[in-house]
Structure 1
Amino acid sequence: MQVPDAVYHLMRHTELKSCDLSGNVITKIPPKFAVKFSLISELNLSNNQMARLPDELCTLACLQRLDISHNSFVSLPPIAAQCPSLHTVLAHHNQIIEVDVDRLARSRALEYVDLSDNPIPPRIHEQLKQLSRPSVSVSEREPEEWEDLIG
């Protein structure tokens, strides 16, 4: 359910570049993860039970690829637009309804964000489709039943 403290001790002299914690029941990543593994460039947290990431992950200067797909996120974490080297974010198959589109557009490094299979609201969905950079993948919206009533 979490990264054991022993991992930090055992790997204290290891320069971790890639980390795959997918397919567990992890609910949170501790803030010290970013401090202990500051050189990480690929982080796979897919297929877990996470709903948020610690703000400290924004300090990962080398992080280029983040996979948080198949989790329980309701908003795209700020790290998506704040990490200086992060160019790919996979966040498909979550419960994301909140995305800071302006922040995504201002990101210098971000190239691709996969938000497919999320219940993104119509207004945000349209804003994401208008972005020229980064490239954002979203699923085609299925109109809600109630939307027919107001049309």
Structure 2
Amino acid sequence: MDLSNLNLIKIPSEIGELTHLKTLDLSKNQLSELPDSIAKLADLEEINLSKNNFRAFPLGAFRINVR
């Protein structure tokens, strides 16, 4: 899902309902935080968060699976 370059300042918590999402591009926005529900994206393989205003990420937001 490409949500890049939209000047987004917030991602709705409902993003966590997209459990089969494989890729998420949130680059080039004005984001400073992610909703805790981002951790529900169990099938997420790739996320681009570049060129935003992040200072920290929620603990446990991403689970890393090493294969």
Q: TM-score range by the shorter chain?
A: 0.7 to 0.9
Q: CA deviation at 1:76?
A: 3.6
- Find 1:68's aligned residue among 41, 49, 60: 49
Report if aligned partners of 2:25, 2:47 keep a CA contact under 8 Å in 1: yes
Gaps of 5+ in 2: none
Whole-Å Cα distance in 2 between the matches of residues 75 and 25 of structure 1? 19
Q: 1:22 aligns to what?
A: 4
Identity between Structure 1 and Structure 2 (%): 32
Structure with bigger RCO (C-alpha 8 Å, 6+ apart): 2
The TM-score, its normalising length taken from structure 1, stands at: 0.40
In the TM superposition, what whole-angstrom CA distance separates every residue of 1:81-119 from its partner, at most 9, and x where no partner exists? x3xxxxxxxxxxxxxxxxxxxxxxxx4x169xxxxxxxx
- Which TM-score applies when normalising by structure 2? 0.85
Counterpart in 1 of 2:32?
Answer: 51
Higher helix share: 1
Give the structure with higher Rg (CA): 1
Please give the residue correspondences for 1:2-151 in structure 2 after superposition, counting only pairs within 5 Å. Answer: 19-35=1-17, 37-78=18-59, 79-80=61-62, 82=63, 107=64, 109=65
Q: How many residues align?
A: 66
Deviations 1:51-76 (A, max 9, x none): 01110110111001111100000114
- What runs of 5+ residues in structure 1 fail to find an aligned partner? 1-18, 83-106, 112-151
CA distance in 2, matches of 1:27, 1:110: 31
CA distance in 1, matches of 2:49, 2:66: 15
